[in-house]
């Protein structure tokens, strides 16, 4: 799980760094708190940060479930793709809103793969554990 934990820590660190860019843009474009509108460039940085938070809510449980119920190695590798996708998203969206799509896909698809894979592995284990429980309980009655 060490590599998965490193990827999760990097994802959270990436989120923090994106937040620092929001603070920098707020000062640079003179958008006074608590406003979240007023300058198009600032708004893009704000959306990058907020969208990354939205993705993290699904990514972290997804990578954890995938690692615990399918493969630690594949979870970490797919997680790295998510990290790269977020950087591509950041660079594209910061340049222009219409340039965010590739990065969005490069982070959304790994998140979906991790969630669905993790859920599938969890269900598979639950079904096989339930079968084992029935056999054990049946043997107890004999």
CATH code assigned at 19: 1.20.120.550
Q: Taking the alpha carbons of 8, 13, 17, 19 in that order, is the dihedral positive or negative? A: positive
What is the value of pTM for the model shown?
A: 0.88
pLDDT band at 69; cut points 50, 70, 90: very high
25 pLDDT above the threshold of 60: yes
Nearest of 31, 9, 11, 7 to residue 90 by alpha carbon: 11
pLDDT at 24: 97
Please report, for residues 75, 93, 97, the alpha-carbon distance to residue 40 in angstroms, rounded to integers and kept in the order given.
Answer: 36, 11, 10
Domain count, the chain: 1
Could you tell me the residue range of the domain that residue 61 belongs to?
Answer: 2-141
Q: How much of the chain exceeds pLDDT 90, in percent?
A: 89
134 pLDDT above the threshold of 50: yes
């Amino acid at each position: 799980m060490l590599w998965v934990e490193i990827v999760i820590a990097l994802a959270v660190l990436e989120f923090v760094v994106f937040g620092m860019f929001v603070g920098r843009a707020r000062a640079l474009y003179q958008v006074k708190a608590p406003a979240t509108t007023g300058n198009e460039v600032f708004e893009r940085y704000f959306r990058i940060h907020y969208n990354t938070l939205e993705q993290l809510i699904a990514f972290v449980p997804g990578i954890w479930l995938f690692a615990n119920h399918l493969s630690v190695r594949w979870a970490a590798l797919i997680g790295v793709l998510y990290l790269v996708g977020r950087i591509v998203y950041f660079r594209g969206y910061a340049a222009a809103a219409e340039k965010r799509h590739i990065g969005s896909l490069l982070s959304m698809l790994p998140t979906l793969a991790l969630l669905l894979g993790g859920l599938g592995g969890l269900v598979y284990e639950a079904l096989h554990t339930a079968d084992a429980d029935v056999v054990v309980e049946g043997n107890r009655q004999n």
